[in-house]
Homo-oligomer: A and B are copies of this chain.
Amino acid sequence: MQSANVEIVEVGPRDGLQNEKVIVPTAAKVAYIEALVAAGLRRVEAVSFVHPRLVPQMADAEDVMARVPRIPGVRYAGLVLNERGLDRALAAGVDEVNVVVVATETFSRRNQGMSVDDAVRGFGVIAERAHGAGLGVTLTVAAGFGCPFEGEVSPARVAELVRRCPGADEIAVADTIGVGVPADVRRVTAAVREVSRAPLRFHFHNTRNSGYANALTAWELGAAALDSSAGGIGGCPFAPAATGNIATEDLLYMLHRSGVATGIDLAATLSAAALIEERLGAPVPAQLGRAGTWPA
């Protein structure tokens, strides 16, 4: 077991809200982000620069970025899929871009509207331009643990994509559909480490109740960063297949009791989750808010 610290990347405002049916007003998004920053979160994936027709939940990305608290040490990321998204990200003043390449051809074409080859080429162009503008660049390999269309995704396939996309400051592997288990985390970590020395970040959903075990395993293996969303939002509670991100507060509970320092205040994170829960008007998947911190 490793006792190193780990960075929490708060993705509730982006991946969380993007997958909720309710379209949250800009002011409420900003209040959620303010609460997260007040809780001590220092890295927030705040927005996505995709076409508003495809993801109406993120149509106000520029407005959100114009209003978030700019505090030394707090970095905001925006998700981008293409150069048009990068243009918007640069104009909106994000600190870093998260560039997504999907591991499988079918999912890439359906989700991003481009082939994997085109996505890899796009990554190179975006990374170069983003770096030129002084922004950090994350490569996210989506569907890195499995694809809804093509099934199993081998760690070798993920590693091959990482190899083809040099220049990222960080490699994130995303279990987009929540199918991975800790043994998969071990395999993909080993495979990616063979082709890249960049810090590793993981993005887990708790779709099949393996998300927290996956996160713990990633931390044990020395992952530099873990994604989570305050409230565990992102899986509509009334949808047939709830697929929220792992929840920041439940992850913090586990990490803090394991002796991991995160610099994040658990009670304040619960307040941020309560804020977005009230706004969404439905119970969030996170459990700590209901069960209570312990010992009291």
Q: Which residues of A contact B (CB under 8 A)?
A: 1, 146, 151-152, 177-179, 181-184, 186, 206-210, 212-213, 215-217, 240-243, 246-247, 250, 253-254, 257-259, 286-288, 290-292, 294-296
A209 in complex: contacting residue of B179, B242, B287, CB < 8 Å = B287
What is the CA–CA distance of A253 and B295 in the complex, to the nearest angstrom?
31
Given A177-B294, A181-B254, A216-B217, 7 further pairs, Cβ under 8 A: A151-B296, A206-B287, A208-B253, A209-B246, A209-B247, A213-B216, A242-B291
CB closest residue in chain B, given A180: B257
Q: A213-B212, A216-B213, A258-B183 are in contact. Are A152 and B207 (CB under 8 A)?
A: no
A290 x B241 contact (CB < 8 A):
yes
Interfacial chain B residues near A208, Cβ < 8 Å: 250, 253-254, 287-288, 291, 294
B151 x A295 contact (CB < 8 A):
yes
Q: A208-B250, A210-B254 are in contact. Are A152 and B186 (CB under 8 A)?
A: no
Q: A287-B208, A291-B241 are in contact. Are A183 and B1 (CB under 8 A)?
A: yes
Interfacial chain B residues near A286, Cβ < 8 Å: 209
What is the CA–CA distance of A4 and B296 in the complex, to the nearest angstrom?
37
A208 CB to closest chain B CB (Å) equals 5
What is the CA–CA distance of A201 and B247 in the complex, to the nearest angstrom?
28
A-B contact pairs, 29 of them (CB 8 A): A1-B183, A146-B295, A151-B295, A177-B294, A179-B294, A182-B216, A183-B257, A183-B258, A206-B209, A206-B287, A207-B287, A207-B291, A208-B253, A209-B212, A209-B246, A209-B254, A209-B287, A210-B212, A210-B250, A210-B253, A212-B213, A213-B213, A213-B254, A240-B290, A241-B292, A242-B287, A242-B290, A242-B291, A243-B291
Q: Mostly helix, strand, loop or mixed at chain A's interface?
A: loop
Interfacial chain B residues near A206, Cβ < 8 Å: 209, 287
What is the CA–CA distance of A291 and B151 in the complex, to the nearest angstrom?
15
B186 x A257 contact (CB < 8 A):
no
A176 CB to closest chain B CB (Å) equals 12
User: Which of A182, A206, A287 has most B Cβ within 10 Å?
Assistant: A287
A258 x B290 contact (CB < 8 A):
no
What is the CA–CA distance of A75 and B253 in the complex, to the nearest angstrom?
37
What is the CA–CA distance of A241 and B294 in the complex, to the nearest angstrom?
13
What is the CA–CA distance of A296 and B151 in the complex, to the nearest angstrom?
8
What is the CA–CA distance of A216 and B169 in the complex, to the nearest angstrom?
32
Interfacial chain B residues near A177, Cβ < 8 Å: 294
What is the CA–CA distance of A213 and B240 in the complex, to the nearest angstrom?
24
What is the CA–CA distance of A208 and B232 in the complex, to the nearest angstrom?
12
Interfacial chain B residues near A217, Cβ < 8 Å: 216
CB closest residue in chain B, given A150: B295
A207 CB to closest chain B CB (Å) equals 5
A234 CB to closest chain B CB (Å) equals 14
